[in-house]
Amino acid sequence: MALWVIAFAATNALADALPPSTWVGLKSLPRQGRTAIFALAVDPSNSQRLIAGNSEGTLLRSTDGASTWTSVHAGKAALTTIAFSPFNSGFVVAGTRGSGGLVSRDGGSTWVVATGLEGRQVRVFSFSLTIVAAGTDKGVFVSQDGSSWQQSGLANRSIDALAVTAIHVPVHLVAGSDGPLTAGTVPMFQSVDGGLNWSTLSPAVSGTFVVKLVAGPLPPVGDTRPVVAGTNAGLFASTDNAASFVALSGGSVLPSTDYTQIAFITDHHDRFYAASDGGGSGAGGLWRTNDGGQSFGSLVPPMRSITALAVSNDESPFLYVATFRPSDHVAALWVYRDTGGTPQGPTVSPTSAASGGRTSRPLGSSVFDILTWSQTPYIGLGLGALAVVLLALLANARGRRR
């Protein structure tokens, strides 16, 4: 009981100690080296549980908000994407660059190789209530359980983006490709029967390839989910199942750059984040909208090039963000608790030597911090219970010696 109480307090201490709307640096990902982090995901049922992939092909798991990491799978191919199912607790899938996919059914503790995806570059996953879809370098693959996969069309296309816009049967899928171009339009496709058949979409969207597609929650009125698309030239939104899009970037609202990360906030159809690595232009960043894209506010990340974004399933969500500084190849991890306030930055940015080490004062680094934690009573209770157990053991040992 004592050990359980201590573990419970330790798990929640980081969450309670995080200052609101403030960037906090995290320790670098083990054995990441000097390459960008692209695969990062947070469990929708636990904001402190994360899965990440490093440059060596290793999957790492954290249960304390990225303060510590444990290796859970050793591979040889770089991880490209990790996704938790929003419908099945503990179900996680991961994609690699050239070695197919992996699946876990226990929240990322153990992993097995997915059959049918061998040799594929798996770049994106998307979930419905009945199937999982994957975008690869040879089209779209589908699976009912994440373990066994079958090719499901667009085999001559390299799919970078994929979204499920209708989660019930018949499942509606929208896919984005990186070429070749058709009639000068961004290559996008849809399937209205769960991937059995595909047709071409020709939306008026600028750019040469689609980087990201995300379907949001249903609005209070209607049965069509919003779809947000990021291309290498801007950010766009659709309210008619990707038949048409309106530009959200350009002018003074958002820069016309590549948008590689998009995430909605809980069940709000009009609240989401958009992030960019800048494509080497220095125009990257992280923005939030609370009105469906009519206006955006910058969260002023410590580094402007965002390579991965994982958003927890909370009203005031935790944002786990991977950044990369091309000038000195520093890959860093950050956490930001978005409470809606004015973003506050760390005192200094990670250096090449620190490689993403904690830049602000370590949480709980002083006696005052410890005394003011909301978990302090639990820690005290746990320590007291542990002392009772130790005294009982000591008394028992003395009794036996007599």
Longest dimension (CA), the chain: 93
Beta partners for 289? 272
Mark whether 352 and 380 lie in a shared domain: no
pLDDT in tens, the chain (402 residues): 444 444 444 444 455 578 999 999 999 898 888 889 999 999 999 999 999 998 889 999 999 999 999 999 999 899 999 999 999 999 999 999 999 999 999 999 999 999 999 999 999 999 999 999 999 999 999 999 999 999 999 999 999 999 999 999 999 999 999 866 555 578 999 999 999 999 999 888 888 889 999 999 999 998 999 999 999 899 999 999 999 999 999 877 899 999 999 999 999 999 999 999 988 777 899 999 999 999 999 999 999 999 999 999 999 999 999 999 888 888 999 999 999 999 998 844 443 323 333 233 333 333 333 333 334 444 454 555 555 555 655 555 555 555
Is there a contact between 273 and 292 (Cβ–Cβ < 8 Å)? no
Instruction: Count Cα neighbours of 212 within 13 Å in the Cβ-side half-sphere.
Output: 28
How far, in whole angstroms, is CA 279 from its chain's centroid? 19
Mark whether 63 and 198 lie in a shared domain: yes
Mark whether 339 and 305 lie in a shared domain: yes
33 Rama sector, left if φ>0, alpha if ψ -120 to 50, beta otherwise: left
Mark whether 375 and 340 lie in a shared domain: no
How much is the pLDDT for 22?
A: 96
Instruction: Point out the domain boundary residue: 342, 357, 372.
Output: 357
pTM, two decimals, is 0.83
Mark whether 319 and 382 lie in a shared domain: no
Instruction: Point out the domain boundary residue: 322, 338, 357.
Output: 357
Mark whether 290 and 381 lie in a shared domain: no
Residue 7 has φ and ψ, to the nearest 5°, of: -65, -40
Cα 74 to Cα 71: distance, rounded to the nearest angstrom:
7
- Tell me which residue of 175, 182, 55, 69 sits closest to 125, measured CA to CA: 175
Strand positions, DSSP E, 172-271: 172-177, 188-191, 199-201, 210-215, 227-231, 234-238, 246-247, 261-264
> Which tens digit of pLDDT belongs to each residue from 146-177?
999 999 999 999 999 999 999 999 999 999 99
Name the domain count of the chain. Answer: 2
Mark whether 180 and 238 lie in a shared domain: yes
Cα 233 to Cα 309: distance, rounded to the nearest angstrom:
19
Cα 391 to Cα 69: distance, rounded to the nearest angstrom:
34
Instruction: Point out the domain boundary residue: 338, 357, 376.
Output: 357
Cα 238 to Cα 354: distance, rounded to the nearest angstrom:
42
Mark whether 11 and 29 lie in a shared domain: no
Residue range(s) defining the domain that contains residue 291: 20-357
Mark whether 261 and 368 lie in a shared domain: no
Q: Which residues, including other chains, have CB under 8 Å from residue 289's CB and lie 6 or more apart?
A: 248, 270, 271, 272, 274, 295, 296, 297
How far, in whole angstroms, is CA 230 from its chain's centroid? 16
User: For position 85, which CATH number holds?
Assistant: 2.130.10.10
Q: Cα dist. 21→99, 109, 301, 317, 331 in Å? A: 38, 31, 11, 10, 22
Residue 324 has φ and ψ, to the nearest 5°, of: -145, 135
Mark whether 49 and 76 lie in a shared domain: yes
How much is the pLDDT for 251?
A: 77
Mark whether 293 and 397 lie in a shared domain: no
Is there a contact between 362 and 346 (Cβ–Cβ < 8 Å)? no
Mark whether 353 and 370 lie in a shared domain: no
Cα 398 to Cα 402: distance, rounded to the nearest angstrom:
7
Cα 216 to Cα 206: distance, rounded to the nearest angstrom:
21
How much is the pLDDT for 84?
A: 98
